[in-house]
Amino acid sequence: MSTEQNPSNAPEASPLGKAVAYCDQYAPELLFPIPRSGKRAEIGIGADLPFTGHDLWNAYEISWLNPRGKPVVAIGTLTVPAISPNLIESKSLKLYFNSFNQTRFESVQRVQETIARDLSAAAGAPVAVQLETLDQRPGRTLGTPEGVLLDTLDIDIDTYEPAPELLSAAGPVVEETLYSHLLKSNCLVTGQPDWGMVVIRYRGPAIDRAGLLRYICSFRTHNEFHEQCVERIFVDVTRQCRPLRLEVWARYTRRGGLDINPWRASEAMPGPGNLGEVRQ
């Protein structure tokens, strides 16, 4: 199922940034899909995607009632494939999870199946869902990528809207991982800040590190959703630096009980896993 771009599912029509009534009874209609196609067209992506990948969501505020009315609390991991025609607006997902709060379910498995069904319908492609109740003592490892941190470079920054012309690469082929904690963009609808770490792992001519850091910082006043920023970075690095192999992923900080971690790669390969960034 895909969602055509029309005024009813444009970002401005979402519940994001608006006062909404709290619903504590199961309501899948609260989910708000947004077509990926519009923003992809802006950066020259058509039906044939130049990448594979997924959006990995961690959800920390999921609760429902068991058949006897006793609350159950869980955390969830949601994997939305990049091939899905729609992304799911984050506030609508939070409201959707809130609608479980006073709803009785017979088992964790039934809740997991329900969420997977509803999110897959909204995204237009199968979404993988894994729930862990807190009595299982789930955990998540925090850490940093094995690579070169760019943030200590002593450089001037004067550009705060995406500037792909800052990117360049030259010389013999190298294989390395570069990362930065200085990624900041703004919500496409509300303009509120989104903070994250971005990682570029590639094989190809050496990317100029100062130019890459300037480029990452150039997103600082840019309005776009998390997934769209990562796809823009992937496309810009591909066009300007011509890597033979490329992965781009970001770890965005938590908002509304959710963190979003988009990953895009030039070829099929295992993803980077769910290693958390310290601010998550």
**Span 110-129, pLDDT tens digits:** 999 999 999 999 999 999 99
- Mean pLDDT, contiguous 10-residue spans, the chain (280 residues): 52 60 92 98 97 98 98 98 97 97 98 98 98 96 96 98 98 98 95 97 98 98 98 98 98 96 97 96
Q: How far apart are CA 220 and CA 223, in angstroms?
A: 9
Quote the pTM value: 0.92
Residues 6+ apart with CB under 8 A from 19: none
Q: Confirm whether 48 is a catalytic residue.
A: no
The active-site residue out of 55, 194, 208, 259 is 194
The active-site residue out of 48, 55, 151, 187 is 187
pLDDT of residue 22: 82
Q: Confirm whether 118 is a catalytic residue.
A: no
